Structure 1
Amino acid sequence: MIDPQRMLQKFMDYVRVDSESGNERAFAEVLLKDLGAFAGLSVEWAGGGEAAGSDAGNLYAYLPGTMQGEPILLCAHMDTVVPGRGIDPYVEDGFVKSRDGTILGGDDKAGITAILEALRAVLEEGLPHRPVELLFTVKEEVGLMGAKTFDISRVKSRLALSVDYVGSPGVMPIRGPGMMEIRAKIHGVPAHAGIAPEAGVSAIMVGAAAVSRMKLLRVDEETTANIGTFRAVGPTNIVSPEAEIVIEVRSRSKVKLAGHTNELVQALQSAADEYGARLECTVREGYVPYDIPGDDPQVVRVAEACRRAGVTPEFVSCGGGSDSNVFNAQGLVSFNIGSGMKDVHTTDESLSIAEFVSAARVLRELIL
């Protein structure tokens, strides 16, 4: 059976191992050792390290089934956001939290721990189980890079379930956004700011004018846009010759995603034209949206496992990207379930122990 105390101890051990994006090697080695203790589980490095820009690589494992049953791929990512060095976890009022101004790292080490506990419980009980595939990816937090470099053709499962969402495991985001990234460089004209400012074109002013014309943050129910970088560094006695702006657009609608991206690029271009600056702009697709029907057999399969584990399933839409975006685009059915995480990507992050344990119970039902 699921052992809550063992789960909790393993999670706290895991988060103490630093694994900020691109520096997952130390944690991957710990995970590789733990996976090696599972009888019958074959484990291997599955590439992605160099291509993704990580010092490690994806880890893939396969456990043959002992009964007839559709296989399942369980996925989580090994990297964390910053600040994720020197995490010192502690338990308070049913939650795991962190000290000293770091994240906790439940995103996504809670998912990894829940997956391993579910598999461990099934094997300890000697229960018949379906074939199980495990995939632990690198650099999910900075562009889903590990998943993008993984060879999906080797996967035997039709369902790739990512244990990488907030709240209860019953919360299933079956609709997720796509993302586009805009990188703009505005080239102005330098001039002495005190003697001849009229001769210059301020890249900062151009950028500010462009931003003032943009619809940002919550655009509509399906769409968001955010500026992550607005950078211009220089002395105050020179009219700013260059500014950099980096924007992301997300939407669950492909049409809106393309349309709002174009609107933001046009705002940049029109401001540059108006002031006489030169715009250098690139647009990159980060990932594509997905929308899985609630009656899809794979969704029903997970919902039934939730009910067997005493968890109420709830289908939702989300605004975040995950490895599931990559897997859906490559032909699998993929979505996330919660593992008890709260306030992820902040130093207030915590983990609900009750929901964390429930996630392992749901996963155990899916393996059987």
Structure 2
Amino acid sequence: MIQRERLIEEFMELVRVDSETGDEAAISEVLKAKFGAFGLTVEEDEAAQATGHGANNLFVTLPASEGVFGPTIFFTSHMDTVRPGKGIQPRLDGDGYLRSDGTTILGSDDKAGLAAMLEALRVLKETGARHGEVQFVITVGEESGLAGARALDRSKLRAEFGYALDSNGEIGGIATSAPGQAKIRIEVTGRSAHAGVNPEDGISAIQVASKAIARMPLGRIDHETTANIGRFEGGGATNVVCDSALLLAEARSADRAKLERQIEAMRQAAESAAAEFGAAAKLEATHLYPSYKHSDDSPVVQAAAEAIRAIGLQPRTFPSGGGSDANIFNGFGVPTVNLAIGYEHIHTTKEQLKADDLVRTAELVKAIIERAASR
């Protein structure tokens, strides 16, 4: 009962609204109007003030049908996109894929999730299908390190468990685990000197930082842990021994203890290299979000698996290597998994989405809502 053409048109309407992360004001107003048109109250928190982003997080509640007392569930998608995301011109190509004109991203990450929510809600209203209470939580700043979710007002979230519509992969995939992440900043301080006259009096911060990197365990540490140096800054004129360098890095792990050990290993590498050369090194680590892990027989996973089978697909669980708003909701104590919704090549101008997968995502949202009412 999902109306394909209507859904595709709404998706295209949403992606045409500029909403690069940090500039969410326009898309927020569109979403408030769309959810409000169903007669639902849209609440906001104060995330904009906390994050500096263009809008607040939105909380929309669909009251339960009379006589339905099942669990309250929620769905979440984010309203922001990555860059370049201004002036998106979506199209449906002959091979069944939705794409941009190639000069921008498409924005299916995560407006496919938003469109699927709206279509599922519209069909529920049209058919009068019985359902329990459902919350739709729309966040800002997901593409800016989960900024909106991190600033979310937990008191407005009433759901017992829920689903993020924000993973790549074929429909039917359920990301049952994801790592926590720490951002790492390492400052190395050496001593300047003239590189041609008296270089022996200097201590090159670049050289020390390079030695530190060489001593760090990086890349794939084990099946649960990764680490990466993303930026190396320092120096200026070639005739000056560089006296300061900056490393920006990250570490991720599904196991908090392993994450702490990785951070400590990077700290020791930096400090030992600094000590060897008579320099100084300072490492600061900031935990952005926690890890999560759910077993295949947990209620949140089982409800999704039942709904996936109901729409004629096979459920499959997998571990994610990246973070999403699902990490934050799990950190709030609300069991949440991330559902694959089919988008491909996200964060690039080659981004694409099968129209059939957009339809299946809406079918899946509707199926989860209906099955939650009968649990």
TM-score between the two structures when normalised by the length of structure 2? 0.94
Q: Does 1:11 align with 2:47?
A: no
Q: Partners of 1:279 and 1:234 in 2: how far apart?
A: 20
Q: Partners of 1:188 and 1:110 in 2: how far apart?
A: 50
Q: Does 1:204 align with 2:206?
A: yes
Gaps of 5+ in 2: 371-375
Give the corresponding residue for 1:119.
Answer: 121
Q: Does 1:32 align with 2:32?
A: yes
Residues 187-225 of structure 1 show CA distances to partners (whole Å, capped at 9, x for unaligned) of 121111222211111111111111112222222211111
Q: Partners of 1:343 and 1:226 in 2: how far apart?
A: 22
Give the partner amino acid of 1:43: V
Within-5 A mapping of 1:186-225: 186-225=188-227
Within-5 A mapping of 1:260-299: 260-299=262-301
Within-5 A mapping of 1:1-368: 1-39=1-39, 41-67=40-66, 68=68, 69-92=70-93, 93-368=95-370
Residues 59-79 of structure 1 show CA distances to partners (whole Å, capped at 9, x for unaligned) of 111111114122211101111
Q: Partners of 2:7 and 2:36 in 1: how far apart?
A: 18
Q: Secondary structure at the match of 1:347?
A: coil
Q: Secondary structure at the match of 2:342?
A: strand
Q: Secondary structure at the match of 1:60?
A: strand
Q: Secondary structure at the match of 1:88?
A: coil
Residues 120-170 of structure 1 show CA distances to partners (whole Å, capped at 9, x for unaligned) of 111111222211111100111222121122222332211121101112331
Q: Indicate if the aligned counterparts of 1:16 and 1:86 stay in contact, CA closer than 8 A.
A: yes
TM-score between the two structures when normalised by the length of structure 1? 0.96
Q: Secondary structure at the match of 1:258?
A: helix
Q: Partners of 1:94 and 1:104 in 2: how far apart?
A: 15
Give the partner amino acid of 1:272: A
Give the partner amino acid of 2:336: S
Q: Tell me the number of residue pairs that the alignment of Structure 1 and Structure 2 aligns.
A: 367
Q: Indicate if the aligned counterparts of 2:206 and 2:235 stay in contact, CA closer than 8 A.
A: no
Q: Indicate if the aligned counterparts of 2:227 and 2:250 stay in contact, CA closer than 8 A.
A: yes
Q: Indicate if the aligned counterparts of 2:15 and 2:107 stay in contact, CA closer than 8 A.
A: yes
Q: Partners of 1:98 and 1:217 in 2: how far apart?
A: 33
Give the partner amino acid of 2:364: V
Give the corresponding residue for 2:373.
Answer: none
Q: Partners of 1:196 and 1:297 in 2: how far apart?
A: 68
Give the partner amino acid of 1:88: Q
Q: Partners of 1:99 and 1:213 in 2: how far apart?
A: 45
Give the partner amino acid of 1:140: E
Q: Partners of 1:150 and 1:311 in 2: how far apart?
A: 33
Q: Partners of 2:133 and 2:155 in 1: how far apart?
A: 17
Q: Secondary structure at the match of 1:143?
A: coil
Give the partner amino acid of 1:153: S
Q: CA deviation at 1:346?
A: 2.4
Residues 246-295 of structure 1 show CA distances to partners (whole Å, capped at 9, x for unaligned) of 11111112221111111111111111111222212211111111111111
Q: Indicate if the aligned counterparts of 2:89 and 2:101 stay in contact, CA closer than 8 A.
A: yes
Q: CA deviation at 1:233?
A: 4.3
Q: Partners of 1:233 and 1:341 in 2: how far apart?
A: 41
Give the partner amino acid of 2:159: S
Q: Partners of 1:354 and 1:5 in 2: how far apart?
A: 11
Q: Partners of 1:223 and 1:9 in 2: how far apart?
A: 41
Q: Indicate if the aligned counterparts of 1:168 and 1:337 stay in contact, CA closer than 8 A.
A: no
Q: Secondary structure at the match of 2:367?
A: helix
